Structure 1
Amino acid sequence: MIVRRSTAALAAAVAVLGAAVPAAAAPSPSPSAQLPDGLYGTGDPTYDGVWRQSLTLLAQTEQNVVPADKAVDWLTGQQCANGAFASYRPDPAKACDAKTVLDTNATAVAVQALGATGGHEEAAGKAVTWLKSVQNKDGGWGYNPGGASDANSTSVVVGALVAAGEQPDKVVKGGKSPYDALLTLALPCAGKDAGAFAYQPDKSGKLFANADATAAAVMGSLGEALAGTNAGDDKASPSCAKPGDREQAARNGASYLAGALAKDKHLMSSMPGAEDQPDFGNTADAVVALAAAGFGEQAAASAHWLESNALPWAEQSGPAAYAQLVLAAQAGGIDPRAFGGKDLVSLLNATGPAPAEAAESPSATPSETRKDKDDTDDGVSVWWIVGVGLVGGIGIGFLISARRKPQP
């Protein structure tokens, strides 16, 4: 499911692609390279700086944690003048130019994070305007501008549109919306992969099931952002029906995921020359997608499997992995602060600058907490709040996903 290339590319696969390789963590930066102040994680940020920072901010705000000012400032400082984000800009003081590799996934996840933290409507709006400008004629998006549309990139952009208050079905190019693009990647209700989504068609135009692309496309087809919502079990159906609309296609995809997880409660990944092994990141993405589609029982079962098995992976992989587990835990009905005997939120917070504070009450959102601080009599505005931004809902981010996946 993940491109296996050079050591550098493996770092991208580990961190940017949902940290799906349990046996390897992102490489540490060279001794001469100093990580930016405000950035979460200690691994080389070249491939995943914006991605892991955004997931961290999303997971924190979901748990009523007010992120550190400098963590949010670092993210906003990564934005180019045209509104786009690259995966990572080591020198944000240097203007973006034709050599800057712009990234729809990084841009879309940043929009969701900025919406969640609140007070960055202008920056998010510029990013959405750029995303619209690079939409493909089939209604979707590729990983980089001009690339062929794929399920993961299209879905994470849908999440950004929703977070920014846009209606994805109204965002069209060539008469096609992102929902139309996702429907073209849905497999028919036939064979062992019935209802799954493909990442992209292969060179001959054939579609092949891809579990991570399916998790992403379930979220995108439902119009969900990375953090997702728990829809309960009222929509759950183990059967596959002709995907005449996006919601049916999403339920078909969730049914496929439920079947893929039924035996072992986790998905598998493999590397050339190595035995198959559990894919923690993609399993976490699948949990969020299942919960959003109404497959609550199946989501809970895999969330409990992650609770028993995924902590060493997260410790090795860093903030993006911890963030994925936070979102998967809450989707699966598990308290992220008591996950396998560990407090995921504290572990995530410890990977970077200490948060400003936690929300003052379990029911208060971070934006509400910030507004209270802004309204104090001392006249000092610590937070700039215009409104409560929508929290993106996996990446699985979807944590779900902003991940470039090739065909098998």
Structure 2
Amino acid sequence: MSMKRWGAAVMAGALSIGLSVAAASPAHAHDQGHGHGGSSARTVGYYTQWSIYDRNIPLRYLVDNGTAAKLTHLNYAFGFLDEPGSCVSADAWADYQRPFPADQAINGKADAPGQALAGNLNQIKQLKQKFPKLRVYISLGGWTGSKYFSNAALTPQSRAAHVKSCIDLWLKGNLPGAPAGAAKGVFDGIDLDWEWPATEGNPGNVVRPEDKQNFTKLLREYRLQLIKQGFHDRKSYDLTAFLPANREAMDRGYELASVYRLLTFATVQGYDYHGTWEKITNQQSAIRAPEGDPTTPKDSSEIVVDAHLQRGAPRDKITLGLPYYGRGWTGVTNQNNGLFQQSTGPAPATYEAGNEDYRKLKTLLGTGTYKLHRDEKAGFAWLFDGTTFWTYDDPTELKRKAKFIRDRKLGGAMIWSLDGDTPQGELINAVHSGLHRR
């Protein structure tokens, strides 16, 4: 079918049924990694705009450690919303202004003064030239950027204006202070990370009970405008969303069966089941609920996946999140190797107390004071030195989780976030091996 005939058919069909099958349009067909956890399994990685600062990890790092070659999708996090609900850059310097030196540039050439596009977006452009099958999405929101999603989703007018602004900024590439269309072609779709509809998330977020229905309506508006823009650009744009592990948040904030129908696929939270907002040490990303877990309700990847399936999720649209970081407590009672024990608070860490990248946690084993422990049945690991406890995923656990994704015939794995891996790519190699039976 010609592009013109395809576009007319998709538009007519989508409009006639209210976009209820929009996710079956060619946008879904262009999802490069999809299927049932086999050779076509998605591998979706989040790269954060702030990785270039304290961590000093540019996108070039993903090429050098082998990650980029093993990804099917890259999510660039995050774009923000202003109070009316329009899309804005959260960090213009990181996104499109910072000149990269030759040793950090993917093409090995330093950015020239005054070039139309610099920053991470120009590096993404170079990444796509090197890996032309890679699909790249702009992720909107996140924990600190979801404050005004409820405003954007509130009315037909606000939804239309929000989506139009996001398409203009990120897909048409019309960046403030840059030449018109400077960033066009960088992104192949939009990823919504609203944390969370009808549930506060970060303190101060705007929350309304009607967010649940409005989120579905927002997705329909995205689908309509993405189809129209795709017809104009002669390409297909994808639509994805990050969905929660918490069952109360699922039921309060989402019409999940409808949501999944409208998405190309979803990334599902597979971590932060426990953390230092609790005083008792626990796992943060176990496959199964461990024996002796004192909390209620129990949390695990198996429980979360089943909850999504029970609410209407197709298996091949569930892309399960895997963490490249650990959660840590200190002042921990020296019993049961530190597991399920009282603590005095978050463990000291490099960037944020109680949260540490894998590549940093790996070095603790070399100190001789920490001992590695595993729960082979539940599928998680932790480090303990008698007073400080870190639960994290190492290559062994990530390969185990990837095998779980394959065994459950899910759509693939999502990684938060790519800057946590080592220069040798230990974690991405484990995920890839587990997904592809190696």
TM (normalized to structure 2)?
0.27
More strand by share: 2
More helix by share: 1
The structure having more radius of gyration, on CA atoms, is 2
TM (normalized to structure 1)?
0.28
- Relative CO higher for 1 or 2, CA cutoff 8 Å, sep ≥ 6? 1
